[in-house]
Amino acid sequence: MKRVGTLFLHALGTVMALLVMTGCVKNEFKVKFDLPSDIDRTYTLLYYASDPSKGWIEEEVVNVIKGKAEVTVQTVNPSIVYVFRAGGKEPQAIFYVERGDRIDIKGENGNPADWNISGNKVTDDITRWRLDNSKLLSDSHRQGGEGKKQLNRSVYDYVTNHPSDAASAILMLEYFDRRTDESLFRAGWNKLKDEAAEEKWKELVSRSDMSEDVAPVDKLPAVIVLKTIATGCDTIVPGRVPVLLYFTKNNVKSHKDDIAELKKLSREFPDSSSRIIADISFEPDSMARLFPVRTDSLRLAVRGWMPLGVSDIQARKMGVSRLPYLIIADGKGAVVYRGDNMEEAAAKFRNILKNN
């Protein structure tokens, strides 16, 4: 009995020691800069701080003098920290942090994109990927769509090789341009598993397009009911024939050229029973919608109208959040293209129709 009591006291002491150690972790993290001595610059650390009851945006300005600086930043919950150069509009680097962490920033110049940022496994993994892809990151800003596609592929490849790593989820959320390649995004996101598949990463980044689960296959709704000028109402049933949906407004810069391309498609494939081409306007005013329908000579197409625009429930279900926007679905209803490039969309649609 005495031995049992001794063991109980020993166990109690161990528990109390662990509690004391846990209590020593302060609601803060430290960031230390170690750069060349000729660097005297200001940087900004931007992050979303939160506790069990509320959240807020924090901005920490760091003055690096002769390459050195050290700051202590308050936080309770884990966060993603964005690193900006003074006056910069886009972050050059990110890192993941939890309370109690010590983040070390080292570099050979004043560009955060080139820095080695370390302090925990997630941050180490993100940094390794960023440095390995520094040229792609730089090119993606200059090359636009093509550069973004290459960057997307790099993120996808990383996820394929590290599906259980938390860094994979963060890279998908922070560096993958979903607008450029929806299908590849879905494929990559649905590769995540174990810790990487936990909801906390979506909550950490808080992206508006991640409020719902990401279905592995991108499909249109089973039925799309549209207001139309000619008949008052028209119904599109994807999965029977290939479908091209073009969402627009009269003042969209590419509107005239886009309509011209739709005319070419309708003339090349005049059998409207073998395909659906739908021009869907977000004009809130009926007369503004009626005028181009009467004057632009687009025929053998559905002339739809969604006066509520992106607020329309069907537009939301189809993921339409900007204009112009195109969706191409094959004869089985699977979406094969999403984006704003009419030339690229038309090429895909032609290819489907020629091989259907």
State how far the Cα of 231 lies from the Cα of 303, in Å rounded to an integer. 10
Let me know: does 345 contact 328? Beta carbons within 8 Å. yes
Instruction: Render pLDDT for 196-237 as a digit per residue (tens, 0 to 9).
Output: 999 999 988 877 677 667 766 688 999 999 998 767 788 999
Sheet holding 234-236: strands in order across? 234-236, 224-228, 302-305, 276-281, 243-248, 325-329, 335-339
Task: Decide if pLDDT at 3 tops 80.
Answer: no
pLDDT of residue 178: 87
State how far the Cα of 327 lies from the Cα of 246, in Å rounded to an integer. 7
State how far the Cα of 253 lies from the Cα of 210, in Å rounded to an integer. 29
Over pLDDT 90: what percentage of the chain?
A: 63
Instruction: Render pLDDT for 290-312 as a digit per residue (tens, 0 to 9).
Output: 877 788 888 899 999 999 998 89
Q: Please choose, from the candidates 179, 100, 172, 171, the residue with its C-alpha nearest in 3D space to the C-alpha of residue 144.
A: 179
Give me the half-sphere count of Cα atoms (radius 13 Å) on the Cβ side of residue 67.
10
- The count of other CB atoms within 10 Å of the CB of residue 139 is 16
Which residues lie closer than 8 Å to 351 by C-beta, 6 or more apart? none
Q: Please choose, from the candidates 206, 208, 169, 168, the residue with its C-alpha nearest in 3D space to the C-alpha of residue 48.
A: 206
Let me know: does 228 contact 303? Beta carbons within 8 Å. yes
Let me know: does 304 contact 226? Beta carbons within 8 Å. yes
Residue 42 CA: distances (Å) to CA of 33, 53, 100, 113, 262? 12, 32, 24, 15, 51
Q: Are strands 55-64 and 276-281 parallel, antiparallel or unpaired?
A: unpaired
The SS3 call for residue 246 is strand
Task: Decide if pLDDT at 8 tops 90.
Answer: no
Sheet holding 116-118: strands in order across? 68-74, 28-34, 102-106, 116-118
User: Which H helix or E strand runs over 171?
Assistant: helix 166-175
| Residue in this structure with the two tokens 């006291």, named with its chain if needed | 9
Over pLDDT 70: what percentage of the chain?
A: 89
Q: Which residue has the higher pLDDT, 3 or 169?
A: 169
pLDDT of residue 144: 64
DSSP state of 212: S
Instruction: Render pLDDT for 24-73 as a digit per residue (tens, 0 to 9).
Output: 678 899 999 999 999 999 999 999 887 777 777 889 999 999 999 999 99
Q: Please choose, from the candidates 213, 156, 219, the residue with its C-alpha nearest in 3D space to the C-alpha of residue 184.
A: 156
pLDDT of residue 323: 92
pTM: 0.72
Backbone angles phi, psi at 354, to 5 degrees: -70, -25
Mean pLDDT rounded to a whole number for the chain: 88
pLDDT of residue 216: 66
- The count of other CB atoms within 10 Å of the CB of residue 110 is 17
pLDDT of residue 17: 45
